[in-house]
Structure 1
Amino acid sequence: MSAGDGADVARTSLRLRDRIGSGGQGDVHALADGSMLFKEYKDPSRVNGAALADLVEFRQSLGQADRNHLDSLAAWPLRRVVEGGRVLGFLMRRAPSEMTWRTAGGSTKLLELQYLIRPPKPAWQEVAQPTPEQRRALALACVEAVGWFHSAGLVIGDISQANVLWSLTPVTTVHFLDCDGFRRVGRAAVQAQAATPDWNDPLVPSTEATVDTDAYKTALVAARIVTRDPYVTPGKELDPVAGCLNDRQDAAVRGLFSQAAGVRGSRPRPSEWQTALSDRGTITLTAAAPRPRPAINHNVLDGARSRTPINLRAPGRRTDSGAL
């Protein structure tokens, strides 16, 4: 099965394997042909089917380049799954294989953000940890992704350690899960906003999701990656991993993180975090100095000059030839 034109799929047409995951709002099954995953809602009566259709249509409305970019960034809803007039769930792609890891026991797990923002533990020693430079690059990849979503007119809502994946190969990159929690600006949500403890904006209820709450959580994800501290919040002192940031980046990140503790509407936007975490730095421009005025020889202009009269012919006076 493929994403096709985004048309609805009947639940009875799906051949499923065993359940491979479960969350607060739904269970995830693999299709028998291995092509996609099916997220089935636990309580379909709470699902806004029109809002889910809106997310499917959003992807369909993109040009091919943007659609490919969205697919690289997110496990996006591709087609709704319906039965008897009810929306039961949706189809989505699997996470990229490079964003998984294999345990000592042989099972496969998703490479969630939690393995990046916490000190390594023996239970997941098989997870390769990034170098300090790769850690900065992953923080940059996260804020760039949030910036792209916002520029596309989307609100993310729940940004946390459980729904962002990461990889170091072939390049440092991230991938967002639970994308039915996204919504288009000004549109309804598919379900009540999910919330993750220690990742909520303290100035609003956990059920509220806006571009501004995304901005607060962007500060959390950027700071927690570069510090490897899962609990640091704006207003607290940052202690970045040694070698992760240069002096310019360190000063910029500290300033933005402090700013994120401010009132609503004052939080740094993703573009500001991109500049702070970029390895290109900033260029200070100075006004160009005006060209010097040429020297003037006043002796030539102001000295005595010989003036001779100019003879003007009177109007209507004839010449010797008789012509006027």
Structure 2
Amino acid sequence: MGLVTLASLGPLGEELGAGGQGTVYALPRSPSLVYKAYSGDALADLDAGVLTDMIGLPAGLSERDRRDLLAAAAWPRDTVTDDGRVSGFTMPLVPGRFHTTLKLPDGQRQNRLGQTQLLLNRSDYLDRVDIRVDDRFRLDLLADIAGTLRLFHRLGLTVGDLSPNNLLFSRAGKPLCHFIDCDAMQLNGRTVLPQVETTDWEALSEDGAMAAKDSDVYKFVLLCVRLFAGDQSTTDAAALRRAGAGVHALAVQGLSGSVSRRPDLAKWEKQLRAARGALGEPVAPPAPKPSRTRVAPKAPPVYAPVAVRTPWFNRRRRRRLAKFAVVACLLGYGVTHTQQIESWLGQVAEAVAADDRAQAQAQADGIAALLDSSAPVRTKVKTAIGNLSKCRSLKKSVSDLGAAAEARQRSYAAANALVVTDVDDGAEMKGRLVEAFRHSKAADEAYRGWGQKLIKKGCGKSVLNGPDRKRGDQESVKSTQAKKDFVKIWNVVGPQYGHQTFEYQNI
């Protein structure tokens, strides 16, 4: 552990994730490790000395602290250099237990990182994606997070950007947490890169230091509240009454704004474990008494979900049937059978409403899936444009922009194919999303042409500020406006169906 070259890692494998600071790649030669390659912008602000100190931290700890730290975090392992300059670092691959499987709207299953943000949704959403957790799980997980933060603070570490994006959970056996993006933490007040905060998780301490311990504690309180509320942004502690009066009282104090009144993590961990103990274990149903008489097992009843459509009784036919019933009333049948028809109409109306809800949910799920799939592209584009403007990594940037344009084309086609007839403001959202991807694709293609001319003609001023770059900038502005218009609607509609809000920069 310490210092390695990029060439020694061998060919890079699959891209596992991308963010504002860089991109994470699999390492086929070392499958237990991954490589985080910093973006050009991040390298300009990098403090390599702090990264070296972070990598060396575990070696100076006791055996128990070292074991606990490495179990609780994807800790940086080796500094990676390329042509004598720091390019990123290696870290352990996230253990399999911190992945989870989601059930998609089409019935397929998707394995992904168990980011805690998934848990900050309503129970109906969790049921749909087949993430089944109860308050026992929530209390166990929060107690483990509190204990882990106490360990970090004792070792001179503060998280700073404590949010559900960089915190994973495990449902395999005992609930546990696991921190990622550890290079974004503070080590004894020093940082590898300037710290940023996640939207809706901002909390400056009284002395203005974002990563002070009391800031971590405040954001932990937010996590407790939002995990029990199933809400991404609430600050109302009422949901924690389910966990008992003691936990609720700690949350009210923790959100008061006064650092002096804010309960410390030791109190939180103790109270959470006490609340978990008070819940006890779920009681298993009593086993059936053995019978001396052999009886054929009774088949369980089969229940048809109300919202499921059958081939002969689909949504359109329900509506036609309802209209037929109204006509029957008007033609005189209702004169002697009004009560029966009213009852029947009520049943038909309920069936139509249930079908409408199911359709709207499936359509909202489709929009959310498209948004998730499009998020990683923007980071690559931003990095490529930055490199072109500085006349570096030209071939790679052109290649990345070509791949981005192809991805935008796929997103554009998927947006055009969206069915949004039952979602509130669906047509408006679809139009804005289609427009955003169309202009993004045009911008990527223009920037790619710009890069090709830089390779061919050199980086003179006339080429650096040529027509392709200007066209790319113009298309980018149009795309940005369409994205802003879209998220303004989606951030109202999406949460109604259990989906998170989006920033326009992440589309």
Q: What's the TM-score bracket when you normalise by the shorter of the two chains?
A: 0.7 to 0.9
In structure 2, relative to structure 1, the CA distance for the partners of 1:13 and 1:207 (3 Å cut) is: farther
Structure 1 position 251 matched with structure 2 position 225: no
Instruction: Report SS of the residue matched to 1:81.
Output: strand
Partners of 2:90 and 2:36 in 1: CA distance = 6
TM-score normalised according to structure 1 size: 0.76
Q: CA deviation at 1:22?
A: 0.2
Q: Which moved more, 1:201-210 or 1:77-86?
A: 201-210
Structure 1 position 36 matched with structure 2 position 39: no
Match of 2:221 in 1: 219
Partners of 2:75 and 2:127 in 1: CA distance = 28
Task: Give the strand-richer structure, 1 or 2.
Answer: 1
Match of 1:315 in 2: none
Match of 1:125 in 2: 128
User: How do residues 10-159 of structure 1 correspond to structure 2 at under 5 angstroms?
Assistant: 10-15=5-10, 16-33=12-29, 34-43=31-40, 44-103=43-102, 104=104, 105-120=108-123, 125-159=128-162
Match of 1:200 in 2: 202
Q: Which moved more, 1:152-161 or 1:58-67?
A: 58-67
In structure 2, relative to structure 1, the CA distance for the partners of 1:266 and 1:50 (3 Å cut) is: farther
User: How do residues 152-191 of structure 1 correspond to structure 2 at under 5 angstroms?
Assistant: 152-186=155-189, 188-191=190-193
Query: 1:75-104: CA deviations, max 9, x gaps?
Result: 011111112332211111111212212344
Give the % identical residues: 29
In structure 2, relative to structure 1, the CA distance for the partners of 1:207 and 1:195 (3 Å cut) is: farther
Partners of 2:112 and 2:183 in 1: CA distance = 21
In structure 2, relative to structure 1, the CA distance for the partners of 1:116 and 1:281 (3 Å cut) is: closer
TM-score normalised according to structure 2 size: 0.49
Partners of 1:84 and 1:169 in 2: CA distance = 42
Query: 1:144-199: CA deviations, max 9, x gaps?
Result: 1111111222111111111111012121111011000112223x200010210111
In structure 2, relative to structure 1, the CA distance for the partners of 1:66 and 1:161 (3 Å cut) is: same
Partners of 2:224 and 2:274 in 1: CA distance = 15
Query: 1:85-124: CA deviations, max 9, x gaps?
Result: 3221111111121221234445421111011121146698
Partners of 2:276 and 2:100 in 1: CA distance = 34
**Alignment check: 8 A CA contact 2:204 2:210 kept:** no
Code of the residue aligned with 1:67 in structure 2: it is R
**Alignment check: 8 A CA contact 1:227 1:241 kept:** no
**Alignment check: 8 A CA contact 2:225 2:239 kept:** no
Q: CA deviation at 1:18?
A: 2.3
In structure 2, relative to structure 1, the CA distance for the partners of 1:281 and 1:11 (3 Å cut) is: closer
Instruction: Report SS of the residue matched to 1:129.
Output: coil
Match of 2:268 in 1: 273
Partners of 1:136 and 1:219 in 2: CA distance = 13
Q: CA deviation at 1:203?
A: 5.5
Structure 2: gaps (5+ residues): 278-507
State the number of aligned residues: 268
Code of the residue aligned with 2:117 in structure 1: it is Q
Query: 1:40-77: CA deviations, max 9, x gaps?
Result: 11131211100001111111212332222112100011
Partners of 1:192 and 1:123 in 2: CA distance = 35
Which protein, 1 or 2, shows the higher relative CO under an 8 Å CA cutoff with sep ≥ 6?
A: 1
Instruction: Report SS of the residue matched to 2:81.
Output: strand
Instruction: Report SS of the residue matched to 2:140.
Output: helix
Partners of 1:130 and 1:108 in 2: CA distance = 17
In structure 2, relative to structure 1, the CA distance for the partners of 1:190 and 1:214 (3 Å cut) is: same
Q: Which moved more, 1:45-54 or 1:221-230?
A: 221-230
Which of 1 and 2 has greater Rg?
Answer: 1
Point out 4+ residue stretches in structure 1 off by more than 3 angstroms.
102-107, 120-127, 202-207
In structure 2, relative to structure 1, the CA distance for the partners of 1:164 and 1:206 (3 Å cut) is: farther
Partners of 1:262 and 1:207 in 2: CA distance = 15
**Alignment check: 8 A CA contact 1:46 1:191 kept:** yes
In structure 2, relative to structure 1, the CA distance for the partners of 1:18 and 1:206 (3 Å cut) is: farther
In structure 2, relative to structure 1, the CA distance for the partners of 1:22 and 1:128 (3 Å cut) is: same
Instruction: Report SS of the residue matched to 2:240.
Output: coil
In structure 2, relative to structure 1, the CA distance for the partners of 1:55 and 1:27 (3 Å cut) is: same
Partners of 2:114 and 2:24 in 1: CA distance = 17
In structure 2, relative to structure 1, the CA distance for the partners of 1:241 and 1:125 (3 Å cut) is: farther
Task: Give the helix-richer structure, 1 or 2.
Answer: 2
Instruction: Report SS of the residue matched to 1:50.
Output: helix
Partners of 1:180 and 1:218 in 2: CA distance = 19
- The root-mean-square deviation of aligned C-alpha atoms, in Å, is 2.5
**Alignment check: 8 A CA contact 1:200 1:206 kept:** no
Q: CA deviation at 1:204?
A: 6.4
Code of the residue aligned with 2:251 in structure 1: it is F
Code of the residue aligned with 2:150 in structure 1: it is G
